[in-house]
Amino acid sequence: MSRRALIVGINHYDNSGVSNLSGCIPDANAMREVLSRHEDNRPNYDCLMLTSDASRVTRVNLRSALVELFAFDGDVLFYFSGHGSLEETGGYLVSQDGEPGDPGIHMDEVIRLANGSRARSILVIIDCCFSGNMGNVSANQGGQHAQAQLREGMTILAASRPSEPSMEVGGQGVFTELVVGALKGGAANVRGRVSAASIYGYVEAALGAWDQRPIYKSHAKQLDSVRECEPLILDDLLRKIPEFFPASDHVYMLDPTFEEQNVHCATPENVAIFKIFKQYQITGLLKNRSGRDLYWTAEQSGGVYLTPLGEFYWRLASGGRI
């Protein structure tokens, strides 16, 4: 498998000054469940779990797991759910043995390991307080206009801004619950593909202006699929778009022979095309001028044309990119 994920959830902390949490292990388990396989049950990420109910997630153990993760040359994903800390020296992921003055793993250390990695792509998803500091230059961490420094092929999704807490509600992180929903298909495109950018769009839209604000940072040259869900329409049908529409602004004329209920004149070839057009319409790729059902367009010998989204997939299909 060319994809690996390190998934960390810490509910239990040694230091009495650090409150225990309830949702981090369930969050980690939910992420493992959704990331380990695509919706059609094909393998996706090979997940290594570090959770405080199964082993001690000390700074030494966490650092060792991060070093191993970023030594991989495929696609890597790092997920962390636990406490975050903002010190004078910057942001930290608080390890199970974290203590005052030495909370755990500095966010800079995670970025140094990631920036030096030979991994093809890196996705870091952080659900902790002050997680927006991840990737920021230390001198600017927590600042009004922080600067990030990421290697090519790296993306960060953080639960909150650099100076902001991350909330737990009902035993689950608000951010992670939305990320899982996005990965289950909430952020999928018509082909069923979920990218880091679409996850962020889904999460950001779901959180109001007065809620915690997620952060997205990326130096990616392409939008890879984090997970694949059931498509709304098959690629084979998307590839056919240029067959029906020789130009993106072409108007395809229908007539009563396309509607199978017209038994006196309907033709099998046109009925088959009409059924494909219905799928295009349902997925937002095709429309008619009236906005009514395509049945009436055929009955009245009207035309159909591609929506802007349909034109986008027309370009992909015409260029052989589907």
Question: How many Å apart are CA 104 and CA 251, to the nearest integer?
Answer: 62
pLDDT score at 208: 81
- Tokens coding 281: 């319409």
Strands 303-306 vs 252-253: parallel, antiparallel or unpaired: antiparallel
Q: Are residues 194 and 66 in the same domain?
A: yes
Q: Are residues 76 and 224 in the same domain?
A: yes
**pTM score above 0.85:** yes
Q: Are residues 85 and 148 in the same domain?
A: yes
Q: Are residues 159 and 304 in the same domain?
A: no
Q: Are residues 137 and 247 in the same domain?
A: no
pLDDT score at 163: 82
Write out pLDDT tens, residues 218-254.
999 899 999 999 999 999 999 999 999 999 999 999 9
Instruction: Please say which residue of 228, 252, 274 terminates a domain.
Output: 228
Residues of the chain under the 70 pLDDT cut: 1, 138-146, 170-171
Q: Are residues 150 and 269 in the same domain?
A: no
Q: Are residues 32 and 151 in the same domain?
A: yes
What range defines the domain where residue 310 resides? 235-318
pLDDT score at 173: 80
pLDDT score at 289: 86
Instruction: Please say which residue of 182, 211, 228 terminates a domain.
Output: 228
Q: Are residues 251 and 210 in the same domain?
A: no
Q: Are residues 134 and 267 in the same domain?
A: no
pLDDT score at 145: 62
Q: Are residues 203 and 308 in the same domain?
A: no
User: Per the structure, how many domains does the chain have?
Assistant: 2
Contacts of 190 (CB under 8 A, 6+ apart): 231, 232, 233, 238, 283, 284, 285, 309, 313
Q: Are residues 135 and 259 in the same domain?
A: no
Secondary structure, 3-state, the chain: CCEEEEEEECCCCCCCCCCCCCCHHHHHHHHHHHHCECCCCCECCEEEEEECCCCCCCHHHHHHHHHHHHCCCCEEEEEEECCEEEECCEEEEEEEEEECCEEEEEHHHHHHHHHCCCCCEEEEEEECCCHHHCCECHHHCCCCCCCECCCCCEEEEECCCCCCCCCEECCEEHHHHHHHHHHHHHCCCCCCEEEHHHHHHHHHHHCCCCCCCCEEEEECCCCCEEEECCCCCCHHHHHCHHHHCCCCCCCEECCHHHCCCCCCCCCHHHHHHHHHHHHHHHCCCEEECCCCCHHHHHHCCCEEEECHHHHHHHHHHHCCCC
CATH number for the domain that contains residue 184: 3.40.50.1460
Question: How many Å apart are CA 31 and CA 37, to the nearest integer?
Answer: 11
CATH number for the domain that contains residue 282: 1.10.10
Instruction: Please say which residue of 178, 196, 228 terminates a domain.
Output: 228
Q: Are residues 182 and 63 in the same domain?
A: yes
